[in-house]
Amino acid sequence: MDEHFKMASIQTHMEAQKILDRSDLVELLIPLRAGGSTVGFTSGSFDILHAGHLDYLRKAEQHCDLLVVGVNSDRSYVQYKSQDGPYNHETDRAELISGLDCVDFVFLFDEVNNAGNIEALKPDFYIKGGDYDISQLSSAPLVESHGGRVLLIPLKSGYSTTNLVNKIVCRRITHTEPALNIAQAPAIFVDRDGTINEHVEYLHDPADFRPIPGALEALKHCQDLGYRIVVITNQPGIGLGYYSKEDFYRVNLEMFKHASKIGLFFDKIYFSTETKNSGNQTRKPNPYFVTKAVQDLNIDLDHSVFVGDTTTDIQCAKNAGVKSVLVKTGKGGSDGVFPVLPDFIIGSLAEIVGDTGIHGGPAELK
């Protein structure tokens, strides 16, 4: 076959079909390499495609003439990543990657590592994300044995599938409808640390989140009675730089996991990152977030309650003109920051409903 005609046929095939079986791809690459083209290879599950993936693949393309992407099959994903399986089917994931101009070829593979792919493709460049270290790559010696090089590409900061999924979950569970579209209802304004969960100084690790017995169940009962559930929490550790907002979100996600098991959904979570020295625009006892919640969620403030474990929570309730409830969990009011008395004192949030606590529960406050 005429070499020019042969290369033209290959080009036509490339334009028509980018997703191939690995064995077919190996055969296709032979004449392309003979013509002087270098091959770069990378892989991943690419389950939920985001800007970080695109940035990575565009940077990878700059190091080679042809960029080949191996996509973990569903079977491979389950074996090496999660028993829950990917969110998107393998063919859909491969199709999305093939639609990127920076990608020349795509194939699916079932293995849990890239040894078989490297042995078959013998890439000139084996490309991985900058979160890896070459010493951690067991396939690096295999690449080099075929005369190839390992390249590490810096990842775009702030982008990951895990963060994206967490954000989706947070928005799903902390759902808020526009106030104009929902009827007015009372709310349980509730502090988080020491009231819903055991107090941990500067809580930032989800593993340290432990619900106080009966707290989430009590909030679910209140929700069933028609109350909106609104968390208002001071998080000065963020302002002090002890942990990040992402850490705070991860702790909330752990709380959501516990809550969703019993059908509890939070209407809104407000948090202040201000420290004692940085101002008092949103930080409790300023009732800023109570006022905002009334506007955001069309809340009936007269029949609402504010529950917390510190005098700061009680003072916030007083400032907002809402009934206050002090729980003996957490700091149990021992902080002594404000000389204020609550309207009610109960052992724990669990006692806000039933035959104990506020005269049988918040429903009777109406």
Number of other CB atoms surrounding residue 6 within 10 Å: 12
Q: Given 3-state DSSP classes, what are the helix, strand and coil percentages for the chain, each rounded to the nearest 5?
A: 40, 15, 40
- Best CA proximity match to 333, nearest among 356, 321, 320, 317: 317
Among residues 321, 291, 293, which one has the least CA distance to residue 305? 321
Q: What is the pLDDT along the chain (366 residues), one digit of tens a residue?
A: 344 444 444 454 444 589 999 999 999 999 999 999 999 999 999 998 899 999 999 999 999 999 999 999 999 998 888 777 788 999 999 999 999 999 999 999 999 999 999 999 999 999 998 766 666 677 888 999 989 999 998 887 777 777 777 667 665 555 445 555 689 999 999 999 999 999 999 999 999 999 999 999 999 999 999 999 999 999 999 999 999 988 999 999 999 999 999 999 999 999 999 998 887 899 999 999 999 999 999 999 999 999 999 999 999 999 999 999 999 999 999 999 999 999 999 999 999 975 333 444 444 444
d(CA 212, CA 139): 47
Residue 95, token pair as written in the block: 């199709």
Q: Which of 201, 183, 33 is nearest to 123 (CA)?
A: 33
Q: How much is the pTM? A: 0.59
All structural domains of the chain: 3-159 (3.40.50.620), 162-365 (3.40.50.1000)
Tokens coding 127: 């490309």
Label the pairing between strands 149-153 and 125-129: parallel
> Number of C-alpha atoms within 13 angstroms, CB side, residue 178?
2
Contact 233, 269 (CB under 8 A): yes
Look at residue 80 in the predicted model and tell me its pLDDT: 82
Looking at residue 172, its pLDDT comes to 53
Q: Cis ω on the peptide bond leading into residue 141 (within 30° of 0)?
A: no
* Gyration radius of the chain over CA positions: 28
> If phi over 0 gives left and psi between -120 and 50 gives alpha, with beta otherwise, what is residue 300?
beta
Q: From residue 90, how far is each of 45, 73, 83 by CA, in Å?
A: 8, 5, 15
- Comparing CA positions, the residue from 160, 166, 243, 172 lying closest to residue 203 is 243
* pLDDT tens track for 174-226: 544 555 568 999 999 999 999 999 999 999 999 999 999 999 999 999 999 99
The runs of H, that is alpha helices, within the chain are: 3-16, 22-34, 51-61, 74-80, 90-98, 115-121, 140-145, 161-173, 215-224, 236-239, 245-260, 288-297, 311-320
- State the Cα–Cα distance between residues 315 and 321, nearest whole angstrom: 10
Asked if residue 352 lies in contact with residue 361, where contact means CB atoms within 8 angstroms, the answer is yes
Taking the C-alpha atoms of residue 319 and residue 93, their distance in angstroms, rounded to an integer, is: 53
How many angstroms separate the CA atoms of 187 and 299, rounded?
6
Alpha-carbon gap, residue 54 to 49, rounded angstroms: 8
